[in-house]
Structure 1
Amino acid sequence: MSEKDTNLSRLFVSTTVRRRDIGWFILSFLLPLLSLRWAEAQQLRKIHVAIPAITPAAAPFAIAKDRGYYREEGLDVDLIVMPSAVGIQALIGGNVSFSTQGGAGLLPALRGAPIRLLFSAYRRPMYWLYARAEIRSVGDLKGKKVGVSSIGSGPDSLLRDVLKKQGLEGGRDVVILPVGSGIARFYALQAGSVDAAMLSIPANFMAQEGGYRQLVSFIDQDMVELQGSILASLQLLESEPALAEKFLRGSVKGFRILRDNRAVTTQVLVRFLKLKEDAVAKIYDVIRPGLTPDGTLSEELQKKSLEHILARVGLKEPPRLETIFDFSLARKVNDELQARGWRP
């Protein structure tokens, strides 16, 4: 063998050894990391949580999931979009661990459903009633069709209340149709399936740009409508209080980001809502005033949140508030985070 061939052979062997050593080095680095991730995944508990739509109402939960706050609690949270009425039924039936449908849970709770509202991110109704341009007022909706997410939902109750103030009865003078969550209601309006619709963000901006007429901005009304809430069944609260506390803690952290950090919230919502940053920044400025201070409500606001739905269950006065609301766990979590000096 020539000296040249010998040198090439040595170079080949040396290169092969180096590649092998590099490969072993990479494996020795990656295997513990992969093992750790696998072990972590094995330890996480998968839970299902109902959200009404991909809207800013679900922001606290989207942020908590995105930032890893649920994983810190040992939870793998699956946020599942369900119409409000379906989400509440899933909660009662034990098909989801928690529901975030907010106001939609108050009606069944008033009727005796074994559920409690534990937390609420928003206290102002983030809904807008839009109609075809030729409809100039709420009174003009007589004989018309109005779209809501589902019968018994928060938008449904708000609509019936504003109709009543104009001497109209929903279901008799005005046809109320369940046409789906999120922007589905705008598409129903656009297609002519309904004459007006209760819209949430970002569908309200779409309607404005499309030349539809805004009849009511509910966020500007003296009303309390709970959104971005956490509801749990009594069965879960009694059998698994630790699970409820873990989910609350992760959610409260997400809420604090939403409340205090515009930049991070915008980044998360760009991904969650699949909108451009300038649109999300505009949305943030609209929703920020509607937040509760810490996810809890005073007794006065609890009572006010029930006002527009009491008549639907034949009540003149609300029942004992503790049969509907239980903010004790949210207050405990807030106090603990405050004592620890937790900062996002």
Structure 2
Amino acid sequence: MVASRRRFFKVTAQGLVLWSGLGGHVRPVRAQGTPVRIGSAVLGDYSMTAPILVALDRGFLKAQGVAPEFQPFQGGPTLLKAVLAKQIDLGVSGATDVPVFRATGAPVRYVASQVDRNHFTFNVAPGIAGVSDLKGKSIGVTGVGATTWISAVLLARREGWDPERDVKIVALGGLDAQLAALARGEIHAFVWGDGGVVTELAGKSKILFRFDSLMPKWISQAYYATDDSIKGSRDALARTLTALYQGVKFIRESPKEAVAIVARTLKWSEEAVARANQVSGPLLSADGTINAEAIEVMQTTLVDLRVQKQRVPTTDLYTTEFTPVRV
């Protein structure tokens, strides 16, 4: 089962609470420590949520003196609104969000890399043997300008195809829409995160490759905060990040236990979570170190594809105050 983006959750140190929407109510939780609210752009992505879920379950955040709340959102822009409204202290999203948002005036910057390189997967219909089979066919992406769209455009360029004539890139939104279009033969492939393992195991698609083979200098996902939060809540953010990278260490050292923890919240089978860990686990950053060269490559790509209107000085996009994280 793929966790729907239309459902909202709040995860605290005492468990997962399902609530009705942005205006819903969550049971109050009393916990000792500094309150820190963590938000993710989505729930149904293993690499984005696993370090957080493990840190919550194993008590790493509590041990750092943090009283955590975790709330997944319906995408990067929705998460950004909550971060800017001071409803979320630490966001984690597709890393292209930060330069795009900063270029529009949003005072946010990276505090740590979560997933190095590009962990997105290229998923094809069962009858597709290779990329060359897709010339003249359609590829599904979430939206124009999204990392899924950027990845599809760069793939077309690598193949020597015109992204507008030789292949059709279709913005369809969520995974349910991608799979429905795939089943109807309206698309023959789609770009997704590591959640593609769920549909692969169900026999609905197969993962052809991971996009870091095409885009090695990239940051797939990153933690970010506002300039004000970085200045005013430095100690709390540092302790939170320490706990999150302890979560990454636990995933590496105790993969079976970590799989069981994550499967309970994502509502994926343990087999699917284990497969997702094989796909994107190796790209989880061990200490959050931010690759400035990757940021430059990302900005060049974003401006070239007109996703970002203008470049932002790289030094305005990240801070090194928190990294490398020592665990």
User: Is the pair's TM-score, using the shorter chain for normalization, greater than 0.5?
Assistant: yes
Structure 2 counterpart SS, 1:152: coil
Structure 2 counterpart SS, 1:77: strand
Aligned to 2:192: 199
Following TM superposition, by how much is the alpha carbon of 1:160 offset from its aligned partner in structure 2, in angstroms? 2.3
Structure 2 counterpart SS, 1:100: strand
User: Gaps spanning 5+ residues in structure 1: where?
Assistant: 1-37, 338-344
Larger strand percent: 2
Aligned to 1:120: 113
Instruction: Tell me how far apart the structure 1 counterparts of residues 111 and 58 of structure 2 sit (CA, whole Å).
Output: 22
Residue 105, structure 1, aligned to residue 97, structure 2: yes
Distance 1:305-1:59 versus aligned 2 partners, 3 A rule = farther
Cα deviation per residue 1:290-338 (whole Å; 9 max; x = unaligned)? 233422134334434445323134889965321112232133x42xx4x
Contact 1:91 1:98 (C-alpha < 8 Å) held by counterparts: yes
Contact 1:158 1:308 (C-alpha < 8 Å) held by counterparts: no
Aligned to 2:40: 50
Following TM superposition, by how much is the alpha carbon of 1:100 offset from its aligned partner in structure 2, in angstroms? 0.9
Q: Compare 184-193 and 71-80 and name the one that shifted more.
A: 184-193
Instruction: Tell me how far apart the structure 2 counterparts of residues 171 and 77 of structure 1 sit (CA, whole Å).
Output: 47
Larger helix percent: 1
Instruction: Tell me how far apart the structure 1 counterparts of residues 83 and 166 of structure 2 sit (CA, whole Å).
Output: 30
Distance 1:282-1:136 versus aligned 2 partners, 3 A rule = closer
Aligned to 1:180: 174
Following TM superposition, by how much is the alpha carbon of 1:65 offset from its aligned partner in structure 2, in angstroms? 1.4
Residue 70, structure 1, aligned to residue 61, structure 2: yes
Following TM superposition, by how much is the alpha carbon of 1:116 offset from its aligned partner in structure 2, in angstroms? 0.6
Distance 1:99-1:168 versus aligned 2 partners, 3 A rule = farther
Distance 1:285-1:172 versus aligned 2 partners, 3 A rule = closer
Higher-Rg member (1/2): 1
Instruction: Tell me how far apart the structure 2 counterparts of residues 216 and 262 of structure 1 sit (CA, whole Å).
Output: 23
Instruction: Tell me how far apart the structure 1 counterparts of residues 298 and 178 of structure 2 sit (CA, whole Å).
Output: 24
Q: Compare 285-294 and 201-210 and name the one that shifted more.
A: 201-210
What RMSD over aligned residues (CA atoms) do the two structures have, in Å?
Answer: 3.6
Aligned to 1:311: 304
Contact 1:123 1:227 (C-alpha < 8 Å) held by counterparts: yes
Aligned to 1:167: 161
Distance 1:235-1:278 versus aligned 2 partners, 3 A rule = same
Contact 2:249 2:286 (C-alpha < 8 Å) held by counterparts: no
Instruction: Tell me how far apart the structure 1 counterparts of residues 243 and 38 of structure 2 sit (CA, whole Å).
Output: 14
Instruction: Tell me how far apart the structure 2 counterparts of residues 61 and 50 of structure 1 sit (CA, whole Å).
Output: 9
If the length of structure 2 is used for normalisation, what is the TM-score? 0.73
Instruction: Tell me how far apart the structure 2 counterparts of residues 198 and 132 of structure 1 sit (CA, whole Å).
Output: 12
Residue 96, structure 1, aligned to residue 99, structure 2: no
Instruction: Tell me how far apart the structure 1 counterparts of residues 210 and 36 of structure 2 sit (CA, whole Å).
Output: 38
Q: Compare 209-218 and 121-130 and name the one that shifted more.
A: 209-218
Following TM superposition, by how much is the alpha carbon of 1:187 offset from its aligned partner in structure 2, in angstroms? 4.6
Instruction: Tell me how far apart the structure 2 counterparts of residues 264 and 123 of structure 1 sit (CA, whole Å).
Output: 23
Distance 1:54-1:321 versus aligned 2 partners, 3 A rule = same
Q: Percent identity?
A: 18
